[in-house]
Amino acid sequence: MNARVETPETLRHDWRREEILALFREPFMDLMFRAQQVHRAHFDANAVQISSLLSIKTGRCSEDCAYCPQSVRHRDADVEEHDLMPLEEVLAAARQARDSGATRFCMGAAWRRPKQRDLEPVLDMVRAVKELGMETCLTLGMLEAEQVRQLREAGLDYYNHNLDTSPEFYGEIITTRTYQDRLDTLQRVRDAGISVCCGGILGMGEGQEDRAGLLQALANQPRHPDSVPINMLVRVAGTPLADAGELDPFEFVRTIAVARILMPRSQVRLSAGREHMSDEMQALCFLAGANSIFYGEKLLTTPNPAAGRDRQLFARLGLRPA
């Protein structure tokens, strides 16, 4: 099992909203100093875990997530749809990711909930990628207990299922799946002993209280997520959030720092949106406690910095792959 041992002396699962908002409102330098202290107590401050993400099935999703071009409801979004990729194509992408320095290979499929006939070839992908010596992660939508059991037996290491935003703001973004649906899937994944990857998206029009609410929902789960991806909205033409206003970069960094303080042993992943972040902003995120990134030029359907740019940034900052 990948689950860490958590002790009540070091980790909390009872954060109150006002406590989290108080962290957000600390002077920026004080918040950064506090987050860096927490980070160094639990991690090598100069090591960053590298993951790679591949869309193994793209488009025609029945959900209505306002940020996602893969929804069938967002017909004006320009996305190249494709059915489930053949195993050999997935393995070729995994080998390339491994050879470029990634240690975890994440596979995403645009399903609301996979059927058993969908799951069978994905189980083969998990087994094959594991044989390459890589950690495996999947995001397939909602899962039932039996499906989770099969994934665990195939050797799946991580399952990604984001909460996206606060419970209060959630209905503004998604109506086809409830917040409790997401929590139920996460509990099934935890019960099976698979590590949880769970985070959210910033810049969707939410307020600071919603960002605090997202982190509260993450940190107060029965076990902190092993990985916490923090995404900056990538505005895609043809989606309801195409014209969303830009989030203050310092507010994004603050969210990274508060996530590190609330979930001190979790890997906090700097995820979607890095293509539009300056090197200086990314450096502040690492200083605030981010210690994981997605590597490669595409995240499902949106762009990501080229691997060469990431290597150059790591060299300038003295960072190294974990």
The yes-or-no answer on residue 68 being catalytic is: yes
Cβ–Cβ under 8 Å, residues 73 and 64: yes
Residue of 61, 104, 254, 260 with catalytic role: 61
Q: Of 104, 137, 182, 254, which is the active-site residue?
A: 137
Annotated catalytic residue, options 34, 235, 269, 274:
269
Q: Is 106 a catalytic residue?
A: yes
Query: Exactly one of 104, 177, 182, 197 is catalytic; which is it?
Result: 197
Is 197 one of the annotated active-site residues of the chain? yes
Catalytic: which of 34, 104, 106, 188?
Answer: 106
Q: Is 61 known to be catalytic?
A: yes
* Catalytic residue status for 285: no
3-state SS of the chain? Answer: CCCCCCCCCCCCCCCCHHHHHHHHCCCHHHHHHHHHHHHHHHCCCCEEEEEEEEEEEECCECCCCCCCCCECCCCCCCCCCECCCCHHHHHHHHHHHHHCCCCEEEEEECCCCCCHHHHHHHHHHHHHHHHCCCEEEEECCCCCHHHHHHHHHHCCCEEECCCECCCCCHHHCCCCCCHHHHHHHHHHHHHCCCEEECCEEECCCCCHHHHHHHHHHHHCCCCCCCEEEEEECCCCCCCCCCCCCCCCHHHHHHHHHHHHHHCCCCEEEECCCHHHCCHHHHHHHHHHCCCEEECCCEECCEECCCHHHHHHHHHHHCCEEC
Candidate list 68, 152, 177, 235, residue with the active-site label: 68
Please tell me which residue in 65, 104, 260, 285 is annotated as part of the active site.
65
CA distances from 25 to 155, 211, 263, 284 (A): 42, 12, 18, 17
- Catalytically active residues, by annotation: 61, 65, 68, 106, 137, 197, 269
